[in-house]
Structure 1
């Protein structure tokens, strides 16, 4: 199959068959006859008549690439064709969703309604036999989401295993993200502000802020030490020491999540550190293979990054001592990554199985977002980092281990903020597929 220009018709047909089988099993376990998914409706701001941006229920968009049809419903009954109850209102205040069309429509019985309440006539009448998944505000008269935990646990566990259709969508999302990252780097090199870089990214991605899978992190200089930096200063700094960008893109409901760090033109010492973290990151990506314990990979990342700190003169202790004493967590305070797919931080990263049982985080690693074993079909992010965070460094200075820190070296690097490098990597039956690196390579050839 040509992974860059796949035929979506057979891919989607196979995808729907997989979802039917998973739903059959989940419904049987929960003792339900129907799976009903609400697309959702907008929520309004407190004491205002302005709504927040609408984001569709992930369970709904798992079945079809429709992300802008609030008030719609999807019904699946084992042995029957799924039914899409599609709200296309008569409305001159807002953009009306386009009529359903494309590679996916033949797999659904589609009923178009004009008023939200009209959906009731198309939904199952035996409500007690329905597993209804959605937010509370999607409720209609007498028909409310019940979100049965057993059904959700089963469906969430299986979501880790991507179909070929889903991988095709994620490859496109990665290509869009890589293209936009190239534009953001060019804007940085041209001396743009954080706001200017952000706008260059949106223009290249051809997506609005609300279409992206998450809010961009565009951090210049010391702002790279703030893990979720969103301030977007309008004026460029006097010196461009460094640039950290964590930004993704969306395609047909699927996300990419990409982070890169760049050194300024006169920051050779920082570039050397970036190169060392990049080498560690590539080695970690190579370990995204069947049977790999993700929590163990996270701990391995701490050892590798501690080695970088030792090699580059930031610590005088051994790498093992840095990990065991918690020193490495001062410089790498977040988790190695997370599942990704329909959501940028996708579900069931801690699932032991499909019953709702979970796998705890390793002691001393409270921010890790995934602990389960990697299996074929999983897509995870690999995002090691090294940061110079004043608050954490001051805590370290007061500990006995602070005597083994080269504080003059630390002080020289505070102006760079930090480094994070992140790829989306798919586990296959063989070598991992790095969706992000492949997308950057394709963009370079374009």
Structure 2
């Protein structure tokens, strides 16, 4: 790996301890308890859904398979890990903790989640846990608001893990593109992606979107046709990878060699996307960048002959929103749609979305250490286009050209970008360059 996680981890842990000290002082608590969580049982069944560890738990250590376990932190003391290693011959038992981080924790191994509860400290505790792990978990808002706010600012250790997640994702995206070029089905492309990432579906940070042709118009398409189409005209893939619980989120759109006009539209969207990524700078309002993206993409629609109105008119009338109906992006890190995207301060509060843009997932001003996605798109969505046809602005839309592009579905280009003290660091582009 290009960076030493072992060398970066101690400073990361020290930062988390300092943040916890402040959060506990604000809330008036003596200690912080964080549950890893437990698998959720399927309704009327004796099987569980795949286990997903709490983001608060994996923030402290690179341990994603520890159901029933707990972290205990008391200011001034060494963090403790109560690790559940059940006596079980039905399932693979989690191995005893090892690696670069274990020396920084006092580790207690127990045999059940119930045993773990007996090891938890007393006093006035701030407990971050689902109700399934501890029915009386308080999840104090003052503590969580503070921790969420500061989780926006990634440590060097976290950025190293996100670079690794981006590298894995870029490798897998290349394999998926090759499968598309070879005429494979959506399911076959998805399997090629998993094989290259060396991760199963449950390990990916989110369900992959693998969309051929018209399916690219479904923003969260996760169906996976088993049979290849007669002609693969276009391919949109939105898929990420994980590294010790940190996510990458990457989207690319491809055209077949016969779809030259669609490729030209992809190129224009990508050029616009790179311009937006270049403005991930300290002090940049993310909502303002989102509105700017609407104006630029409206210009792309005009340039390619879909609309005859000005870019300003397209944005004001809502025409741009019919072709670009989602937000420009979101915070990313321990969660794909990471926390505190709307938060007003470390004390909580919320910053409203701009009017007319209900799906924007971030309203804060960018600051060094934040990581956001930049994912503009243009789509040909039947439902939204039908709404446009009934409006007066319909006369300024070339419907024959729009209809000709419905067979391609849509375009989305997405990178994960770090806001720094200087210029932005594009984790995704750097990862693809490394793969090349």
- 1:118, CA displacement in angstroms? 1.6
Q: Tell me what 1:217 maps to.
A: 209
The question of 1:123 aligning with 2:139 is answered no
- 1:144, CA displacement in angstroms? 3.0
- 1:114, CA displacement in angstroms? 1.0
- 1:174, CA displacement in angstroms? 0.2
Q: Tell me what 1:112 maps to.
A: 109
Q: Tell me what 1:304 maps to.
A: 296
Q: Tell me what 1:206 maps to.
A: 198
Within 5 Å, give how 1:264-283 maps onto structure 2.
264-283=256-275
- 1:350, CA displacement in angstroms? 0.3
Could you say what secondary structure the match of 1:352 adopts? Answer: strand
Q: Tell me what 2:341 maps to.
A: 349
- 1:119, CA displacement in angstroms? 1.6
The answer to whether the 8 Å contact 1:138/1:144 transfers is no
1:310-368 alpha-carbon deviations (Å, 9 max, x no partner) = 10000000000000111000000000000000000000100111111111000000000
The question of 1:332 aligning with 2:327 is answered no
Could you say what secondary structure the match of 2:360 adopts? Answer: coil
- 1:7, CA displacement in angstroms? 2.2
> Unmatched 5+ residue regions in structure 2?
none
Could you say what secondary structure the match of 1:46 adopts? Answer: coil
- 1:120, CA displacement in angstroms? 2.9
2: CA distance between counterparts of 1:238 and 1:15? 52
TM-score for both structures, normalised by structure 2: 0.99
Moved over 6 A (4+): none
The question of 1:373 aligning with 2:365 is answered yes
Within 5 Å, give how 1:18-97 maps onto structure 2.
18-97=15-94
- 1:170, CA displacement in angstroms? 0.2
2: CA distance between counterparts of 1:102 and 1:378? 28
TM-score for both structures, normalised by structure 1: 0.97
- 1:418, CA displacement in angstroms? 0.1
Could you say what secondary structure the match of 2:159 adopts? Answer: helix
Could you say what secondary structure the match of 2:203 adopts? Answer: coil
Match of residue 320, structure 1, among 312, 326, 330:
312
2: CA distance between counterparts of 1:222 and 1:349? 32
Match of residue 291, structure 1, among 259, 280, 283:
283
The answer to whether the 8 Å contact 1:42/1:70 transfers is yes
2: CA distance between counterparts of 1:173 and 1:115? 32
Q: Tell me what 1:167 maps to.
A: 159
- 1:265, CA displacement in angstroms? 1.8
Q: Tell me what 2:353 maps to.
A: 361
Match of residue 138, structure 1, among 128, 133, 136:
133
Q: Tell me what 1:185 maps to.
A: 177
Aligned length: 436
1:171-190 alpha-carbon deviations (Å, 9 max, x no partner) = 00000000000000000000
- 1:5, CA displacement in angstroms? 2.0
